[in-house]
Structure 1
């Protein structure tokens, strides 16, 4: 039976045990969100021994050489000693610059990082509260244009990080974990192609950054934005999207509620096989978007999607 050690604590685990599960069962409260190797909230550092890693490609070779692993993707097969990610030592400091409620449920958080981060629209960061609660959030800010990092927090339901965020004040300190790229991005080679952006809830956050990046790069093809919200109050960027559409005739914006969604999706028609679609939101919403896009004629390799899970 392999032995697992964290600090001064050591115990026996069953061979093949998931590393994230045995750490949390032992009371270490390792954060996680996706359990799929995408969010990187569950980073741990292997000091001695090697776990069986199902996603070795999820981290860079440099990270792996330093011992970093995603605990959700690892199984304990031999004696193993790990150190947990320490946001104070391993993270980047940041201070709160802005706190605004964009709707009854969406909190806009703006941060100033203690050192400049080079990122692309569509990437995400793990945010750590002072109490040690971590959660990955997509960046909504525009790289190299805005002097802050912007995040849109869905606080409609209770969650550990959202509960902590409600108590934040200007000037408060947070820590930033790893900058991570998901499936969403803007490619300059798409400039002439139709671009569809489909978002549910705060899945609009990364697409808001990508939309503005596309416009900054003078995207020439038609752009279509669909935002699904629980009700009309939750179209939290409606005025900003409308203003952009007024300035850019090739941009079309549709604000949808669940009641209007089936009819709107049924009306989707892919006029060009060159269309690129980006979708983001809950698993059910992304699945619904994806299914309809494929039925409408979108080639499967031209859909890029990120899924937001409910674990907070």
Structure 2
């Protein structure tokens, strides 16, 4: 047993537990979600005692200097003192500026913060509504806009996505936190070949990264692949065709699980897995040299992204040239899911 203190109350942890595990087991009301340090919703503040290495992994310099830690990454140490924080202190107020349906299941939400909020396409934010319910969504537009664009798919039994899709209205107040992540375009990539692969609404970030690169005068080639179940799910197909026509260094291809009879003649659409199609089109093998100009971005479901990362790395692509944004569909709740 290791005894530490949370809000001046004694907490005993057992071997192998994190601070978050121990707090949950003792019945403390703590907000948490992924338990991997990604969502940043289990932040607490370090007061005194030994702070283990890794407890602040992924936090901004400001959060680190304010002694915030991720409870899910922190191993308790004897006599360690921690305290809860007021969640609103880490959020910025905002409201829904615009709402547009992109398909039967995808809605575009434009969020306007009340203060400056620097962001890039490919990062993600935590969105919190009036009752405290919070979800993470990826950003699909560049840093020059004061609005934050989100592409959100209505999920089966998804409390937040259903609310945004069916009920939330323009002007609705929200709180936002972040941004997090670095799966985004940088000026140093200017001459690289960008291979952007997104499935479902994973298209949003890669579409935003492509637009960001083009707006900054990207010189290398850009290849964008969108994976979907069918042609109806290609919610930005025409915009991507237009983008390709407007830029000589931009190539777009849609990949679907199956082709509907009515869509047989669709332009730039073929049946196949987007990752496998990209692998066949580009050199992603052991001959790929560390100084290769190729840079790969993967956005979408965990199984797709993990598969892509592993295969590309094992075939010889350096890790620093593989950028990933995984859509872990998790809920941020005050108590664990039943069962």
Q: Is the 8 A contact 1:87 1:175 kept in 2?
A: no
**Aligned mates of 1:293, 1:21 — CA distance in 2:** 34
Output aligned runs, 1:20-39, within 5 Å: 20-25=20-25, 26=27, 28-33=29-34, 35-39=35-39
Show the counterpart of 1:136. 136
Aligned equivalent of 1:205: 204
Q: 1:14 to 1:309 in 2, by over 3 A?
A: same
**RMSD of the alignment, in Å?**
2.7
Do residues 46 (structure 1) and 46 (structure 2) align? yes
- Distance between the aligned counterparts of 1:28 and 1:159, measured in 2? 23
Alignment check: 8 A CA contact 2:121 2:205 kept? yes
Rounded to whole Å, the distance in 2 between the matches of 1:215 and 1:207 is 12
Which shifted more, 46-55 or 70-79? 46-55
Distance in 1 between residues matched to 2:140 and 2:304, nearest whole Å: 20
TM-score, with structure 1 as normaliser: 0.86
**Cross-structure match for 2:151:** 152
Match of 1:285 among 304, 312, 318: 304
User: What is the CA-CA distance between 1:270 and the residue it aligns to?
Assistant: 2.1
Q: Distance in 1 between matches of 2:198 and 2:137?
A: 15
Residue deviations 1:124-163, cap 9 Å, x none?
A: 221112111222222112211x331111223233234324
Within 2, Cα distance between the matches of 1:142 and 1:7?
Answer: 40
| Cα distance change on mapping 1:112 and 1:61 into 2, 3 Å | closer
Number of residue equivalences: 309
Q: Show the counterpart of 2:263.
A: none
Which residue number in structure 1 is paired with residue 272 of structure 2? 261
2:30 and 2:42 in contact (8 A); partners too: no
Gaps of 5+ in 2: 259-270, 332-339
| SS class of match (2:95) | strand
Identify unmatched segments of 5+ residues in structure 1: none
2:11/2:22 contact within 8 Å kept: no
Give 1:193's aligned residue. Answer: 192
User: Could you tell me which residue of structure 2 aligns to residue 230 of structure 1?
Assistant: 229
Distance 2:16 2:132 in 1: 28
Q: Which residue in the other structure is 1:165 paired with?
A: 164
CA contact (8 A) 1:45 1:85 kept: yes
d(CA) in 2 for partners of 1:300, 1:88: 36
Measure, in 2, the Cα distance between the counterparts of 1:13 and 1:300: 36
Distance across 2 between alignment mates of 1:300 and 1:268? 20
